[in-house]
Structure 1
Amino acid sequence: MTRHLLFFGLLTFSTLYALIRGGRPEQIGALTLFAGAWTSALMVKPAGSRFYQVETGILVTDVAIWGVLLWLSIRSTRFWPLWITALLGAEVLVHIGVLFAPGSDWAAYMTAAAMWSWIAQVLLLVATRRHCRRLRLWGADASWKS
């Protein structure tokens, strides 16, 4: 339970930081990751049956988040969305792996599906900080490719 509280604390902090200090790509990414985390929390199966089979609701949510961040990778001038897209791709592969190995350990599945979200939040914090630095150094930071 403590791990969940810590994650949602990090999620809230990174989202607010990106919304207040980030450019439009950071804001879109933050809202997407925030909505995805809460949707995943709501879509998880009831206690006692979690992660014994593919978590379809979380898989669908992860694919949707992956799509938004892939679009952001293509359209924005930022490099960080590509990193998070790759992380989410690995997370989707974890779900697909359970389809092919249904007897997988539920704890390993849960951990492998969740760990990428922590890294994505840290990347968002670093990306927002770098955006602030570019603004301070150059006075502007173009968000979108022409």
Structure 2
Amino acid sequence: MTRQIAFLILLLLSTFYASVQGGKPERIGAATLFAGAWLSAWVVNPRGPRFHQIETGILLTDMAILGIFLWLSIRSARFWPVWIAAMLGAEVLVHLGLIIAPSVHWKAYMDATAMWSWLAQFIMIAATWRHRRRLGATGVDVSWKH
């Protein structure tokens, strides 16, 4: 199984799980990650070798997703959006790091940007699971700060 197929399966599973079992913050987060993965596949540089220079389309997508997770971090009563926002911040820094170190091998750049997406999916699964646990224990799980 290729890495791309494995990620697609993980993305679909985490999105489905959060959409069906999550609260509003989990559903927003899952939809954002799903849309970001889909958009990233479409905005990657179609001309020439990919990831041999900054992938501007992916960088802009990552920055938009970061903005949504920063908003979720501020507005929701959950802690997990802070983790995903931090990972997205690191991913944006990987893109910008290519300006400082343009001789970085393209595969290292590609892997460093992709790594955070995998971790974000696992956090979405854990966040949804914890939401279900809180609901089971107390019958309520407040989604938003007052």
Shorter chain as normaliser: what TM range?
Answer: over 0.9
**Structure 1 partner of 2:25:** 25
Letter in 2 for 1:65: I
Tell me if 1:2 matches 2:32: no
Letter in 1 for 2:79: F
Deviation of 1:46 (Å): 2.8
Deviation of 1:93 (Å): 0.2
State, as a whole percentage, how many aligned pairs show the same letter: 62
Letter in 1 for 2:8: F
**Structure 2 partner of 1:104:** 104
**Structure 1 partner of 2:133:** 133
Q: How does 1:108-119 map to 2 (within 5 A)?
A: 108-119=108-119
Distance 1:3 1:38 in 2: 16
**Structure 2 partner of 1:62:** 62
Q: What whole-Å deviation, never above 9, does each CA across 1:20-50 have from its counterpart, x for those lacking one?
A: 0000000000000000000001111237511
Distance 1:104 1:96 in 2: 12
Moved over 4 A (4+): none
Distance 2:130 2:48 in 1: 42
Distance 1:10 1:46 in 2: 25
Distance 2:144 2:77 in 1: 5
Distance 1:102 1:53 in 2: 8
Distance 1:75 1:4 in 2: 33
**Structure 1 partner of 2:79:** 79
Deviation of 1:100 (Å): 1.7
Letter in 1 for 2:111: T
- Structure 1: stretches of 5+ with no match in the other structure: none
- Structure 2: stretches of 5+ with no match in the other structure: none
Superposed CA RMSD in Å reads: 1.1
How many pairs were matched up? 146
Q: What whole-Å deviation, never above 9, does each CA across 1:56-105 have from its counterpart, x for those lacking one?
A: 00000000000000000000000000000000000000000002222211
